[in-house]
Structure 1
Amino acid sequence: MSAVDDSPPSPDSQESEPNSKLTKAQLARIERNRQRALLLRQTRLQSRPYPEGKPDKHKVKAPPREIDSGGGFFIEEDDEALQNVHKNIVHPEGPVLAVDNLVCDGCGKEFIESFLLQYFDVTVCDVCRQDEDKYGLITKTDAKKRFLLKDCDFDKREPPLKFIIRKNPHNPRWGDMKLYLETQVSARAMEVWGDEETLEEQHEKRGQNREKSKQKKFDKRVKELRMAVRSSLWRKDSGSHEHEFGEETYDEDEDMYSKTCTSCGHVMTYEKM
């Protein structure tokens, strides 16, 4: 009969027993994870070493600072790293852009923008725009009467005239007004009529036609009034009429006597017994 060995197992035998239960693939994965952890630790120590020996255990470290990345999320960054990043960033100088200012047609001075340039494409500054006689605005109704233009001359003829819309100052409930630049309307009138003399002739011609039309309406009205007066003066006499007969006449062939009224011409015939 063999003797039983009661001595405790050695540490090597205790470590080999659990490892013997793992497969080779599991052992290899454990070794890779261990090597990766060691490499990560060495990398952190190299990138952020302590300045003087070990860190102070009692020193409280400030919480990381959140930085807006601009992509919809925040990045945590400590103040020291943020300062280093800001020191290393170099902003390149932007290009110098040359701006060509416009020259006013009225005074010859340079300007950048103005009311007439924005709404009517006219290179005139706001100072010269105050001259209402030269750069005034005119309503569409007045422009049609003054320059004898039609709606198609404003909207259909190329290029269409520019305008701005304003509320009616006489009554806000009325329709909005269209205001045109008077110089542009005058230029369009010269395109339609050719010159100012032709425009004046058209004004005179239309004025004469208006006078003739007014005279015809006046004559017609006078005629109607005369007819009304004549009809009111004429009255039909509906009372009794007394005949005034003249001399008596005798007709031998008929053996009849007759008398004629001197006022109405009535003839009364009779015979004598």
Structure 2
Amino acid sequence: MSEATETEKPASSSNTTLTNAQKARIERNRAKAENLRQAKLVTHPYKIGPNGGPEGNSVIKVQGTKYIDSGGGFLLEQPVLPAPGQKSNAEAETPVVIDDGINIPVKYEECLDCGDQFADSYLFNNFGHSVCDKCRDTEDRHSLITRTEAKAEYLLKDCDFDKREPPLRYISRKNPHNVRWGEMKLYLHLQVLKRAMDVWGSEEELMRQHESREDKREVGKARKYNKQMKQLRMEVRSSVYTKKTTELHVHEFGPETYNEEEDNYTHACVSCPYTETFEKM
């Protein structure tokens, strides 16, 4: 057994020994594998090297602009880092704000109710009435009234709103009864009352105008009613006048007599006791 072992040792030592050709081939294969590994290696696009740029050889320059090959099929624009002591593009493009504004003085108004000063209010902006928003009373003193209601209540005309100086200011709102109708014009009740006093002089004169117009309205209604009743009576009596009779006697009427209470005329036949009452149109 010892002899066999001794004879096998030289054979195993001869197998592990490499020739110079084999060693050279192994070195070439190792170098090829290393080159292939280096060719497939892709550096991270966001990994910055010590010189301030991307690490590796993944920078591509296209028409003067540098891009980073991400290795995923698209290019990323390389950020341009400013040199020491040099401002970046964002800082260079930031506009310089020059404070050259003109200070416009704010005009304050004095409230007619509380006496405080204010620069802005609803009544002053819409109607020119110097009352602040704190003192605004929408239910009573500072209520709004439509143009139609103002004309009926204060007996005003359109020229009193638009032509008389100064023209009354108003705001327009949609009609709440029907959106298809025209917009309503809302006026400040205080200003409408003041304009009515300018037109009529006093509240007593305004009340007399209301009473006078009411009386004229009642007289007109009565006159219209009497005229309609008179027309109705004439239509009823016309059938009697046009009715054909078979009487042989022909009346001969005397002078006419006027009845003021009933507003009609009466005349009697001179040859018989027949009396006829009629009205003249």
TM-score (norm: length of structure 2): 0.51
Query: Hey, what does 1:253 align to over in structure 2?
Result: none
CA distance in structure 2 between the partners assigned to 1:114 and 1:90 by the alignment: 33
**1:165 maps to 2:157:** no
> 1:171 is aligned with what amino acid?
N
Cα deviations across residues 39-95 of structure 1 (Å, max 9, x unaligned)?
xxxxxxxxxxxxxxxxxx941169447xxxxxxxxxxx768434999xxx9988999
SS of the counterpart of 1:128? coil
* Structure 1 residues 166-245: aligned runs within 5 Å: 166-232=173-239, 236=243
Unaligned runs of 5+ in 2: 1-48, 54-77, 249-271, 273-281
**1:60 maps to 2:52:** yes
Structure 1 pair 207–64 and aligned structure 2 pair: CA distance change class (3 A): same
CA distance in structure 1 between the partners assigned to 2:163 and 2:84 by the alignment: 68
Aligned with 1:107 (options 86, 95, 114) = 114
Structure 1 pair 94–152 and aligned structure 2 pair: CA distance change class (3 A): closer
Aligned with 1:81 (options 83, 86, 108) = 86
Aligned-pair CA distance for 1:173 = 1.0
CA distance in structure 2 between the partners assigned to 1:96 and 1:152 by the alignment: 42
> 2:148 is aligned with what amino acid?
T
Aligned-pair CA distance for 1:128 = 2.8
Aligned-pair CA distance for 1:121 = 0.9
CA distance in structure 2 between the partners assigned to 1:231 and 1:200 by the alignment: 47
Quick check: which one's helix share is greater? 1
Percent pairwise identity:
48
* Structure 1 residues 20-59: aligned runs within 5 Å: 58-59=50-51
CA distance in structure 1 between the partners assigned to 2:84 and 2:193 by the alignment: 70
CA distance in structure 1 between the partners assigned to 2:84 and 2:204 by the alignment: 83
SS of the counterpart of 2:186? strand
**1:131 maps to 2:138:** yes
Counterpart contact for 1:105–1:124, Cα < 8 Å: yes
CA distance in structure 2 between the partners assigned to 1:120 and 1:169 by the alignment: 22
Counterpart contact for 1:64–1:79, Cα < 8 Å: no
SS of the counterpart of 2:123? helix
SS of the counterpart of 1:180? strand
Structure 1 pair 151–93 and aligned structure 2 pair: CA distance change class (3 A): closer
Aligned-pair CA distance for 1:158 = 1.1
Cα deviations across residues 154-200 of structure 1 (Å, max 9, x unaligned)?
11111111011111111111111111111111111111111112211
Could you say what the CA RMSD is over the residues aligned between the two structures, in angstroms?
A: 3.7
Aligned-pair CA distance for 1:224 = 1.4
CA distance in structure 1 between the partners assigned to 2:230 and 2:180 by the alignment: 42
Cα deviations across residues 93-131 of structure 1 (Å, max 9, x unaligned)?
999987554332223344332211111111212233233
> 1:125 is aligned with what amino acid?
C
SS of the counterpart of 1:133? coil
Unaligned runs of 5+ in 1: 1-56, 66-76, 243-262, 264-273
> 2:51 is aligned with what amino acid?
K
Counterpart contact for 1:63–1:78, Cα < 8 Å: no
Query: Hey, what does 1:121 align to over in structure 2?
Result: 128
SS of the counterpart of 2:136? helix
Cα deviations across residues 125-164 of structure 1 (Å, max 9, x unaligned)?
2233233221111111111111111111111111111011
> 2:115 is aligned with what amino acid?
G
CA distance in structure 2 between the partners assigned to 1:191 and 1:79 by the alignment: 81
CA distance in structure 1 between the partners assigned to 2:163 and 2:170 by the alignment: 14
